[in-house]
Amino acid sequence: MMKRRSAPLLLTLAALVSGCDSVIPESLVSGLAPLGGVQWGQYAPRFADFDGDGVLDVFGWVNEWNGQLNPRIAGYDGRTGERLWITPTLGGLGEAHYARMGLVGGYLIVADSGGTARAFRPGEDAVVWSVGLGERADAICSGGPGQVIVRTVDERATVIDLTNGDARPTAAPTDCRLDEYVQARFRPDFMTIKAKDGEALRALSAEDERFREVAPDLSKRAVIDVSRELQVLVGTKRGGTPVPMVAVVRGGRLAWSSVAPAEDPLRAGYLVPVRAAADERGVFVGYERGSEQRIAAFAMADGRRLWDVAVPQMPEGSSSIDALGVTPERLYVAHRTYLSALDRETGEALHTIGQRR
């Protein structure tokens, strides 16, 4: 593999439309951060303890607005929401949709949409190494001590030395692990399976039948795999008004189920796509009522309702829920341009990451 360095590509919204590099009119940027400001990049947050204080910090894609949108990756203190570090610009508008990133051995690995993997030390601007992959990345995985494996969409893989970027082909791993806090796997019902994979389709159909027998009152829209023996089903009440609903299956049997709204359930609507998160302690489900989007929290052990709150609103723009992420201390709610941190035990809003005008 050839190692190479390439300058970041900076694109403006106007350039995407007209092909020219120009300043975006003020009328088109309502809701963007002030010049030099940083917004959350809409995607689900990731977690690791960068400062060693025992509280998981949050990191993910952000957009810096300097007359054009500059995608970067930034880390924030899990206690205060203060920014800990930010990378240089990592491509153009929409880069986060195709790029892959992950923490391995103290390095932040970013595989961009152009088929190049780069390594950064969080808090340092310099690129440690850059490796051409020849394809877009599908996953980034720990490759053992001092190594990272990047699996590409053509089902090939490259193992790279973390210290110097030496790279060679390797067998593509099926199970990718990173040096991050692992979220429970979220599987929406619209998750695609290759049509040729008949075995996977049959297994999915059999699973649907089992869940319908276990939780007959719920019409499933997503599954969260907390562990091999513990699944959370998120959907709506089967029959009648489609009230948002959640059920927990433990060891193949229904542990508990509940409608999501604490009050006035017939006036509540489910979110499309489903917004939910869970771990071994709790379940968190998003839903809407009128103009509000809300989150209901339940104790995993017995289904006891912990709280039901409206998501924190900002003065302008959308406050809709784009993703949820849960840590032992916090529930994070990703919106279009900001990230809300809530106390997972009470639903109290603690701080906000990102900006609006």
- Tens digit of pLDDT for each residue in 226-264? 999 999 999 999 999 999 999 999 999 999 999 999 999
In SS3 terms, 305-319 reads as EEEEEECCCCCCCCC
- Tens digit of pLDDT for each residue in 116-160? 999 999 999 899 999 999 999 999 999 989 999 999 999 999 999
Q: Is residue 342 included in any domain, yes or no?
A: no
For residues 9 and 99, what is the distance between their CA atoms, to the nearest angstrom?
14
Residue 195 reports pLDDT greater than 70: no
Do 305 and 209 belong to one domain?
yes
Which of 170, 199, 227 represents a domain boundary (last residue)? 170
Q: Is residue 331 included in any domain, yes or no?
A: no
Do 247 and 155 belong to one domain?
no
- Tens digit of pLDDT for each residue in 76-121? 999 999 999 999 999 877 788 889 999 999 999 999 999 999 999 9
Cα–Cα–Cα angle for 61, 317, 184, nearest 5°?
40
- Contact indicator for 92, 9 with CB cutoff of 8 Å: yes
For residues 219 and 121, what is the distance between their CA atoms, to the nearest angstrom?
45
Output the pLDDT for position 93: 72
Do 138 and 267 belong to one domain?
no
Do 29 and 68 belong to one domain?
yes
- Tens digit of pLDDT for each residue in 14-34? 222 233 332 333 333 334 444
pLDDT band, very low/low/confident/very high, at 201 (cuts 50, 70, 90) = low
Residue 174 reports pLDDT greater than 70: yes
Say which residue, 67 or 216, is predicted with more confidence: 216
Say which residues have a Cβ less than 8 Å from residue 129's Cβ, sequence separation at least 6.
3, 118, 119, 160, 164, 165
Q: Is residue 180 included in any domain, yes or no?
A: no
Do 102 and 149 belong to one domain?
yes
Do 164 and 211 belong to one domain?
no
Q: Is the preceding omega at residue 273 within 30 degrees of 0, hence cis?
A: yes
Say which residue, 220 or 17, is predicted with more confidence: 220
Q: Is residue 221 included in any domain, yes or no?
A: yes
- Contact indicator for 210, 218 with CB cutoff of 8 Å: no
Closest CA to 353 of 78, 47, 66: 78
Q: Is residue 353 included in any domain, yes or no?
A: no
Do 107 and 249 belong to one domain?
no
Task: Read off the CATH number of the domain in which 21 is found.
Answer: 2.40.128.630
Q: Is residue 340 included in any domain, yes or no?
A: no
Do 26 and 113 belong to one domain?
yes
Task: Read off the CATH number of the domain in which 305 is found.
Answer: 2.40.10.480
pTM of the shown model: 0.83
Q: Is residue 215 included in any domain, yes or no?
A: yes
Say which residues have a Cβ less than 8 Å from residue 277's Cβ, sequence separation at least 6.
183, 184, 186, 224, 283, 284, 324, 325, 326, 331
Do 224 and 159 belong to one domain?
no
* Mean pLDDT across the chain: 85
Cα–Cα–Cα angle for 352, 78, 181, nearest 5°?
120
Query: 250 pairs with which residues across the strands?
Result: 230, 253
In angstroms, the Cα distances linking 100 to 110, 111, 150, 318 are 6, 5, 9, 26
Do 94 and 198 belong to one domain?
no
For residues 91 and 75, what is the distance between their CA atoms, to the nearest angstrom?
18
Which of 170, 195, 217 represents a domain boundary (last residue)? 170
Do 143 and 239 belong to one domain?
no
Q: How many domains does the chain have?
A: 2
Q: Is residue 346 included in any domain, yes or no?
A: no
Domain interval for residue 264: 185-326
Do 54 and 102 belong to one domain?
yes
